[in-house]
């Protein structure tokens, strides 16, 4: 991983910033993409000389094309692309509006589509590459009712990730597509959710951004296909699915 070039979206804070710092410390070159230029520069300063900053909005297809261009201009190639940017929502299912659903799909799903389609031609030309999509345990089990639209978007992302992996395994087997599913993480995710919400940093049992970043770094090293950031999350999802199978009604 020391010679890898890794693009990280949502890199201005939280998981993305922690991942950038860990990868840079391991010798990787990192391309940091997010909307907040000043915050990106601060992360880049902590990462050192092999960090590039691209101010970009993941919800704009053209911005994702521009991130690829900037990465290639600076480093000549890209090895890994981490789709980390995302946003939550706090609203009961019966209260959801068209705008709520559109925002969840745009930030959590279409952003991944835009980024994937931007970088895939480069990966295909090299015959290798790695896309890492950061999802959520809520993409496996709808635990939090007030996050229903977010949960639905992450379910969509999970399906897209699995089917993209299947497609590329046939056409471009050197390109891997991985999914990482954290639970609650102690970041600004909660307070930055649409309509606000509980502060994730104050919720019991929240993982640190550094802990989640360490798992993602491991996925980059091993190219594992589907990973939970905590083993107990995987078991909880298996228990939920088993319960559904036993009680289909």
pLDDT tens digit sequence for 117-133: 999 999 999 999 999 99
Q: What's the CA gap between 113 and 124, in Å, rounded?
A: 16
Q: What's the CA gap between 103 and 84, in Å, rounded?
A: 16
pLDDT tens column, 225-241: 999 999 999 999 999 89
| Confidence tier at 249 by pLDDT (50, 70, 90) | low
Q: Residue 171 has what pLDDT?
A: 98
Q: What's the CA gap between 20 and 40, in Å, rounded?
A: 11
Query: Can you point out the beta strands (E) in the chain?
Result: 5-9, 29-34, 51-55, 80-83, 129-134, 175-181, 226-228
Q: Give the 3-state secondary structure of residue 218.
A: helix
Q: Residue 9 has what pLDDT?
A: 98
Task: Give the domain 5-246 fold.
Answer: Rossmann fold (3.40.50)
**Is position 228 annotated as part of the catalytic site?**
no
* CB 115, CB 64: distance < 8 Å: yes
Q: pTM of the prediction?
A: 0.95
| Angle in degrees, CA 98, 158, 191, rounded to 5 | 55
Of 114, 150, 160, 240, the catalytic one is 150
Over range 18-36, report the average pLDDT. 98
Query: What's 194's DSSP letter?
Result: B
In the block, tokens 């090895």 appear at 79
Domain ranges of the chain: 5-246
Among the ranges given (24-28, 142-146, 178-182), the one the predictor scored with the smallest mean pLDDT: 142-146
Q: Residue 126 has what pLDDT?
A: 98
| Confidence tier at 201 by pLDDT (50, 70, 90) | confident
pLDDT mean across residues, the chain = 95
In the block, tokens 């931007």 appear at 118
Q: What are residue 192's phi and psi, to 5 degrees?
A: -90, 0
Percent of the chain scored above 90 by pLDDT? 88
Q: What's the CA gap between 244 and 68, in Å, rounded?
A: 42
Over range 189-216, report the average pLDDT. 91
* CB 185, CB 207: distance < 8 Å: yes
| Angle in degrees, CA 98, 8, 154, rounded to 5 | 35
* CB 78, CB 119: distance < 8 Å: yes
Residue 205 clears pLDDT 90, i.e. is over it: no
Residue 90 clears pLDDT 90, i.e. is over it: yes
Residue 211 clears pLDDT 90, i.e. is over it: yes
Residue 183 clears pLDDT 90, i.e. is over it: yes
């Amino acid at each position: 991983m020391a010679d890898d070039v890794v693009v990280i979206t949502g890199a201005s804070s939280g998981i993305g910033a922690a991942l950038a710092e860990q990868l840079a410390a391991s010798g990787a070159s990192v391309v940091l993409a997010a909307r907040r230029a000043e915050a990106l520069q601060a992360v880049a300063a902590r990462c050192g000389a092999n960090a590039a900053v691209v101010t970009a909005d993941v919800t704009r297809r053209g911005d994702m094309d521009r991130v690829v261009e900037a990465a290639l201009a600076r480093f000549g190639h890209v090895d890994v692309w981490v789709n980390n940017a995302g946003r939550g929502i706090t609203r009961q299912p019966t209260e959801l509006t068209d705008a709520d659903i559109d925002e969840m799909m745009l930030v959590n799903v279409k952003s991944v589509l835009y980024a994937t389609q931007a970088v895939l031609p480069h990966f295909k030309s090299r015959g290798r590459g790695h896309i890492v999509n950061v999802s959520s345990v809520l993409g496996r089990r709808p635990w939090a009712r007030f996050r229903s639209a977010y949960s639905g978007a992450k379910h969509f992302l999970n399906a897209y990730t699995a089917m993209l992996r299947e497609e590329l395994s046939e056409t471009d087997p050197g390109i891997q597509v991985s999914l990482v599913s954290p639970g609650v993480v102690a970041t600004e995710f909660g307070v930055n959710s649409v309509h606000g919400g509980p502060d994730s940093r104050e919720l019991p049992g929240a993982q640190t951004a550094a802990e989640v970043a360490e798992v993602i770094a491991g996925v980059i090293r091993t190219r594992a296909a589907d990973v939970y950031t905590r083993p107990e999350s995987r078991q909880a999802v298996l228990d939920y699915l088993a319960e559904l199978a036993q009680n289909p009604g």
